[in-house]
Amino acid sequence: MAVSHKGAISFGLVYIPVGLYTATTDNDLHFNQLCRADGSRVRYKKVCSKCGEEVKNDDIVKGFEYEKDRYVVVSDEDFEKAKTPKDKTIHILHFTDLDSIRPIFYDKTYHVLPDKGGEKAYELLREAMLSENKVAIAKTVLGNSEKLLSIIPTEDGLLIETMFFFDEIKAIPKSIPQVNLNEEELNMAKTLINSLNKEFQPELYHDEYQIRLREIIEDKIAGKEIVQSQETDVYEITDLMDALKKSIEQQQRKSS
């Protein structure tokens, strides 16, 4: 697996050289755009808006529009000059409890592995954080963007979650109406939750839609007729108490 970012974790005067490796992968099926008339690939060209000529990647630079249709060119060297020495490390700001971070702030996950010479300091940080049940809040620059990070200890190593800044989080688009719940409804909802309670085992879950979609593609390649997938156990119950009761009964039958 290729390293996504090379750097170091720093807290206090401790410096740990590390590499970041993407922790997730995209398993979705991907499709090309085709011309409906003859099935040929639709391709996109990068074209200069002034002369109309196609532009190669090597001839493209980044520009910031400071006035309408007026740009200042920013080079790779300019981006590097904007970085301070601290930006080039993963600088721990403080430690906190994991449950103090709302999930909405998380963006992308990386495995963090120590580089040669950093193994002991890495393990010391991991073990100490795990023992104290703490995560670290940190900052660094990845590419050309400063990132807020959380460093999370696990039994196997360290994870880094890139996070959104506070001003990047959108407010709830509208207020949620306040409703009154009666005790019986609440108790039945708790009963249903407890009847569905089990340990999270990630290996049990699979992208079933992608599996069905792949089967459809294979059938089309083989010239077979495509049949609509049928959903089972779909009920239309409008009464909340009735829905809760029937759900509990259904779980009881599955458990017996």
Same domain, 135 and 19: yes
Report how far residue 166's alpha carbon sits from residue 31's, in angstroms, rounded to the nearest whole number: 35
Angle at 68 between CA 141 and CA 166, to 5 degrees: 35
* Domain co-membership, 19 together with 143: yes
Q: What type of residue is 83? A: K
- Residue 137 domain flag: yes
Predicted confidence at residue 234, as pLDDT, reads: 56
Q: Pick the residue with more confidence: 62 or 251?
A: 62
Give how far Cα 220 sits from Cα of 92, 143, 241, Å.
Answer: 53, 42, 45
Residue 142 or 234, more confident: 142
Residues 9 and 99 reside in one and the same domain: yes
235 pLDDT band, cuts 50/70/90, is low
Whether residue 16 is found in the same domain as residue 142:
yes
Query: Average pLDDT, stretch 226-253?
Result: 74
CATH code of 114's domain: 2.40.290.10
d(CA 159, CA 151): 6
pLDDT at position 205, please? 87
Are 140 and 191 members of one domain?
Answer: no
Q: How many percent of the chain have pLDDT more than 70? A: 95
Answer yes or no: is 38 within a domain: no
Q: Are residues 21 and 105 in the same domain?
A: yes
What's the first-to-final CA gap in the chain, in angstroms?
46
For residue 211, CA distances in Å to 33, 146, 215, 246 come to 21, 38, 6, 30
pLDDT digits over 124-182, tens only?
Answer: 999 999 999 999 999 999 888 899 999 999 999 999 999 999 999 999 999 999 988 89
- 222 and 251 in a single domain? The answer is yes
pLDDT of residue 231: 62
At 8 the pLDDT is 92
* Residue 224 pLDDT exceeds 90: no
For residue range 76-126, list pLDDT tens digits in order.
888 888 877 777 789 999 999 999 999 999 999 999 999 999 999 999 999
Q: What number is the average pLDDT over the span 54-59?
A: 91
For residue 71, tell me if it sits in a domain. no
Q: Are 157 and 216 in contact (CB under 8 A)?
A: no
193 and 148 housed in the same domain: no
DSSP code of residue 143? T
- What is the pTM assigned to this prediction? 0.79
Q: What is the mean pLDDT of residues 32-47?
A: 92
Q: Please, what is the average pLDDT of the chain? A: 89
236: confidence class by pLDDT, cuts 50, 70, 90: low
What distance in Å separates the CA atoms of residue 240 and residue 192, rounded to the nearest whole number? Answer: 13
Does residue 74 sit within a domain?
A: no
User: What's the token pair of residue 63?
Assistant: 């520009």
Specify whether 119 is located in the same domain as 199.
no
90-96 and 5-11 strand pairing: parallel
Domain that holds residue 230: 183-255
Q: Is residue 72 part of a domain?
A: no
d(CA 232, CA 187): 28
Total count of domains within the chain: 2
**Could you say which of 168, 191, 216 is where a domain stops?**
168
Residue 62 sits at the vertex; the CA angle it makes with 58 and 68, to the nearest 5 degrees, is: 135
Identify whether 227 is part of a domain: yes
* 123 part of a folded domain: yes
Asked if the structure places residue 21 within a domain, the reply is yes
Give the phi and the psi of residue 71 in degrees, each rounded to 5. Answer: -130, 150
One domain for residues 95 and 161: yes
To which residue do tokens 């890139």 refer? 162
Confidence of residue 238 (pLDDT cuts 50, 70, 90): low
Do 94 and 152 belong to one domain?
yes
242 plus 190 within the same structural domain: yes
